Homo-oligomer: A and B are copies of this chain.
Amino acid sequence: MGIVVQKYGGSSVADATSIKRVAQRIVATKKAGHDVVVVVSAMGDTTDELIDLANQVSPLPPGRELDMLLTAGERISMALLAMAIETLGQEARSFTGSQAGVLTDDVHGKAKIIDVTPGRLQSAIADGAIVIVAGFQGVSQTTKDITTLGRGGSDTTAVALASALKADVCEIYTDVDGIFTADPRIVRTATRIPAISYEETLEMAASGAKILHLRCVEYARRNTMPIHVRSSFSDKTGTWVVAAEDVSKYTEEGQAMEHAIISGVAHDRSEAKITVVGVPDKVGYAAAVLRALAEARINIDMIVQNVSAAATALTDISFTLPRDDGQTAMTALARLKDQIGFERLQYDDSVGKVSIVGAGMRSQPGITATFFEALAAAGVNIGMISTSEIRISVVVGENEVDAAVNAAHEAFGLGNEDTEAVVYGGTGR
């Protein structure tokens, strides 16, 4: 049998007991005849504790050294996991990202993987050893300095290694049974989806679902690497994230053979809304606003420009952005006030975004109408709207997010066990 890559997050290796439990699962996979490569995150809160230490010695820790510091976290968890496996009688060898051949660019804190040269891993596999690799980290191809991959980095490491090693599957272990039609903490009838396409998963991730990170899914799509999202607390099948044409292969028997129109409902409480009020409605003024935000390195999400009242020749521009960037954006825009001559800025961080995602909506008219009718019936007011080919998102009041998610989930029949809808709503953290 082939290679299985398994990725365990920080909560799966939070303490010695958890590490021993994970070791047993890994050894069981090995004994079933697979070659096993494990990608592991830092234990529990280790990364936060290290960041706290850094802040104690430096108001703005330099990126090179912060990466050096943080990579100590996976070094600890991977060595402990290898020890726990050896205690069970199987040979195990741990490797840092650098040793595993994870080559990146030199952007500290959010490096991108450029290449993977897993020669040492292949030797270890050939020797019959279980391979443990530190997630989240690599080494710069140019400077040879240690880098970290940023948020979702360990998932990306797992998919990158699985692709380079031509693994059969990349298993991402988490503390839930897979990807759900909505956040089960908000929607009681939310169901696990057996399989979902890369494209839908990407839209979900971009819409606030936290279970898989954008970059990891993009990497998997590029290499057509099947991802199996599943619980480290059970042996149940989770959710397969695969190419659109393969979704039906991974759907369990007895499930509807056709894709549901909507796969799932995602939500996001991490954004804020800024409105630039009273912008002169002339060519180039909106561009000046966007340029100022780009120069401040702020990624804006949704953007709406009001139709101007002819009498005033003034318009309003509203956009959403990560709340963490709110202060930076307000400062950057305030500097433009005299140059552009807008009236004022409004900042609102009591907003939330609710999105429906589904490959099926391409061929189905009336989806938007059904969605908006459901929101109206639930008394939810729509602030902004944005759409893609397989997604519709709306901005609503933060305290209306739960009602909106539930209304959408019910309107598209996602709570039904027979659907194969998918998606895990993010928590907005």
Contacts and interface: CB of A to CB of B under 8 A. Distances in A.
A283 interface: no
Given A16-B57, A57-B87, A144-B120, A76 B82 contact: no
A65 interface: yes
A336 B170 CA distance: 56
A64 interface: yes
Given A57-B16, A65-B94, A75 B71 contact: yes
A78 B146 CA distance: 14
Interface string A16-31: 1001100100000000
B83 A58 contact: yes
Interface stretch (A48-56, A110-118, A174-182): A48-56
A83 B65 CA distance: 6
A82 B65 CA distance: 7
A64 to B, nearest CB: 7
A59 interface: yes
Given A99-B144, A120-B144, A68 B57 contact: no
A144 to B, nearest CB: 7
A62 interface: yes
Nearest to A68: B79
Contacts of A78: 68
B68 A94 contact: yes
Interface string A84-114: 1011000011100001000000000000000
Given A50-B76, A75-B72, A76-B50, A84 B57 contact: yes
Contacts of A332: none
Interface in A196-212: none
A19 B57 contact: yes
A317 interface: no
A98 to B, nearest CB: 9
Nearest to A93: B64
Most buried by B among A20, A57, A71, A93: A57
A379 interface: no
A92 B58 CA distance: 13
A57 B80 contact: yes
Contact of A86 (B23, B58, B93, B144): B58
A64 B68 CA distance: 21
A330 interface: no
B68 A16 contact: no
Given A65-B94, A94-B65, A144-B99, A83 B71 contact: no
A66 interface: yes
A79 B66 contact: yes
B69 A79 contact: yes
A325 to B, nearest CB: 24
A83 B62 contact: yes
A87 B66 CA distance: 13
Nearest to A91: B62
Most buried by B among A54, A75, A83: A83
Most buried by B among A68, A69, A87, A92: A68
Contact of A69 (B75, B86, B87, B120): B75
In the complex, the 8 A-B pairs of residues with the closest C-beta atoms, listed nearest first: A16-B56, A69-B79, A58-B83, A68-B79, A57-B84, A72-B72, A72-B75, A65-B82
Interface of A: 16, 19-20, 23, 50, 53-54, 56-59, 61-62, 64-66, 68-69, 71-73, 75-76, 78-84, 86-87, 92-94, 99, 120, 144
